[in-house]
């Protein structure tokens, strides 16, 4: 099977992966609100590259209040207009995503920048939207938990630790765990470009320690200090920033 995460609008490359005809697992973050390397994305399209660069700087430092303040300053009394424009951008990207996934067979969960309802609605019938579920795939039990860490931004794709714990409890023991978030391990959640710890999940780490799946695949952190890490019997693997690498991880049991 092929595994990707953090597509962030690279739908031409995603279509090439689909064309390989193998089972595809997508671990979230399909749309591109803002590429913090290139400053491209829906936010820059709506509010300009200069604003995109400003937001990227606040995001890199983890200053969510400064991000909120910047939004307030730029949007002003145009909040509804800006929100509507961003929504149109998101819908357009999901339409492109739907086209790229034509003919794909597999499973897809969501990340922190995704809107779960919109994502589920655009997936073809042969791609199943999954969250808090276990499926048998190529002779293995695979559990899926979507979503990103809850932040002051309160984005549609964010979940609290309590919500994540409830979803994990539903899984029980599986051969493979797939999530958007990494477990809360410094080497896996530290971004070497920003030099800071990014989002990670304590409930996921607790699950891995308790149930010891053979493999745990995830994304979210684009430039981690380590791509792989072993927790007991579990091999943890960041499948990479697909928008940049344009390559899936090939997984054979």
* CATH assignment of the domain containing 236: 3.60.21.10
Q: Are 2 and 22 in contact (CB under 8 A)?
A: yes
Task: Indicate whether 210 belongs to any domain.
Answer: yes
Task: Indicate whether 176 belongs to any domain.
Answer: yes
* Segment 8-23 mean pLDDT: 98
* Signed CA dihedral, 49, 8, 243, 158: sign only: positive
Q: Are 168 and 202 in contact (CB under 8 A)?
A: no
Q: Which domain holds residue 171?
A: 2-30+105-250
pTM for this structure? 0.93
Task: Indicate whether 81 belongs to any domain.
Answer: no
Which tokens is 152 given? Answer: 């002051």
Per-residue pLDDT tens digits for 209-224 = 999 999 999 999 999 9
Per-residue pLDDT tens digits for 44-96 = 898 888 777 787 777 666 777 777 777 667 767 777 888 899 899 999 999 99
| Token pair 């390989």: residue | 20
Task: Indicate whether 53 belongs to any domain.
Answer: no
Side-chain-side CA neighbours of 179 within 13 Å: the count stands at: 33
* Segment 184-204 mean pLDDT: 90
Residue 34 pLDDT class (50, 70, 90 cuts): confident
Task: Indicate whether 226 belongs to any domain.
Answer: yes
Per-residue pLDDT tens digits for 145-189 = 999 998 877 788 999 999 999 999 999 999 999 999 999 999 999
Give helix then strand counts, H and E, for the chain. 10, 15
Higher-scoring residue by pLDDT: 141, 46 = 141
Q: What is the pLDDT of residue 154?
A: 78
Task: Give me the chain's average pLDDT, please.
Answer: 92
Task: Indicate whether 75 belongs to any domain.
Answer: no
Long-range contact pairs involving 211-214 (C-beta distance under 8 Å, separation at least 24): 211/171, 211/172, 211/173, 211/174, 213/143, 213/173, 213/174, 213/175, 213/176, 213/177, 214/175, 214/176
Distance CA 21, CA 73 (A): 47
| Token pair 């791609």: residue | 127
* Segment 98-123 mean pLDDT: 97
Could you tell me which of 228, 195, 233, 226 has the C-alpha nearest to residue 212? Answer: 233
Number of structural domains, the chain? 1
């Amino acid at each position: 099977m092929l595994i990707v995460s953090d597509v962030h609008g690279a739908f031409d490359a995603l279509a090439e992966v689909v064309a390989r005809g193998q089972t595809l697992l997508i671990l979230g973050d399909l749309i591109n609100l803002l590429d913090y390397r290139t400053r491209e994305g829906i936010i820059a399209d709506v509010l300009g590259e200069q604003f995109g660069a400003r937001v990227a700087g606040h995001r890199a430092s983890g200053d969510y209040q400064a991000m909120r303040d910047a939004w307030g300053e730029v949007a002003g009394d145009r909040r509804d207009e800006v929100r509507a424009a961003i929504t149109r951008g998101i819908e357009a990207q999901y339409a492109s995503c739907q086209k790229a996934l034509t003919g794909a067979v597999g499973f897809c969960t969501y990340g922190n920048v995704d809107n779960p309802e919109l994502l589920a609605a655009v997936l073809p019938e042969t791609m199943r939207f999954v969250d808090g579920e276990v499926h048998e795939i190529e002779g293995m039990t695979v559990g899926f938990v979507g979503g990103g860490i809850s932040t002051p931004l309160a984005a549609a794709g964010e979940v609290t630790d309590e919500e994540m714990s409830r979803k994990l409890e539903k899984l029980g023991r599986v051969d493979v765990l797939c999530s958007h978030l990494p477990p809360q391990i410094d080497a896996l959640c530290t971004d070497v470009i920003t030099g800071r710890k990014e989002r990670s999940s304590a409930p996921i780490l607790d699950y891995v320690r308790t149930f010891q799946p053979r493999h745990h695949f995830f994304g979210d952190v684009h430039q981690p200090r380590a791509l792989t890490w072993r927790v007991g019997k579990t091999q943890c693997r960041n499948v990479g920033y697909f928008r940049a690498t344009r390559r899936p991880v090939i997984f054979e049991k």
